[in-house]
Amino acid sequence: MLSALFTPRTLRTFRSSFFHPRPFSTSRCRLEQFHGADEATFNRLTSATRTNGRVVLVDFYADWCPPCKALSPILEKLAEDAGVKTGSGRPIDLVTVNTDEQSSLAQQYAIRALPTVAAFRDGKMVNQFVGALPESGVRKFLEDV
């Protein structure tokens, strides 16, 4: 059936590429974003081994919160920009946690107002801010981490 669609030469090329896929070069992604993380994902991503050499920003939010909706695009934009690093020169990962769905995490980290953004480095929360900051305010926060 394939021979009806391909010439003998293209059929050989198709078969060889199908059975011997082209190898891809991979490297560790500079940016990772995890939206709507559950408790297990949160614990894995903020662990000491995972945050070694990186800073993980955790955005505690709720779907009904207008300031949260204003802050989220700013955080995503900064996390996607390879030129944005912390004051210590570490790259940034972004994790979002819906406090309505993950209330135990909100209680564990004493989240009293939304949005709250916490920075984790080497497995520990090192800094946080509450409220929707403008992009310049978030950049200043990152410089201090």
Domain extent listing, the chain: 33-144
- Coil, strand or helix: which one is 120? strand
Residue-wise burial string across 1-12, b where 16 or more C-beta atoms lie within 10 A, e elsewhere: eeeeeeeeeeee
- Reported as a single tens digit per residue, the pLDDT across 10-25 is 545 544 444 444 333 3
What pLDDT score does 34 carry? Answer: 83
Percentage, residues of the chain above pLDDT 70 = 79
Q: Which residues are catalytic?
A: 65, 68
The whole-number pLDDT of residue 45 equals 92
Instruction: Express each pLDDT in 90-131 by its tens digit.
Output: 999 999 999 999 999 999 999 999 999 999 999 999 999 999
Q: What is the mean pLDDT of residues 63-83?
A: 93
Instruction: Give domain 33-144's CATH architecture.
Output: 3-Layer(aba) Sandwich (3.40)
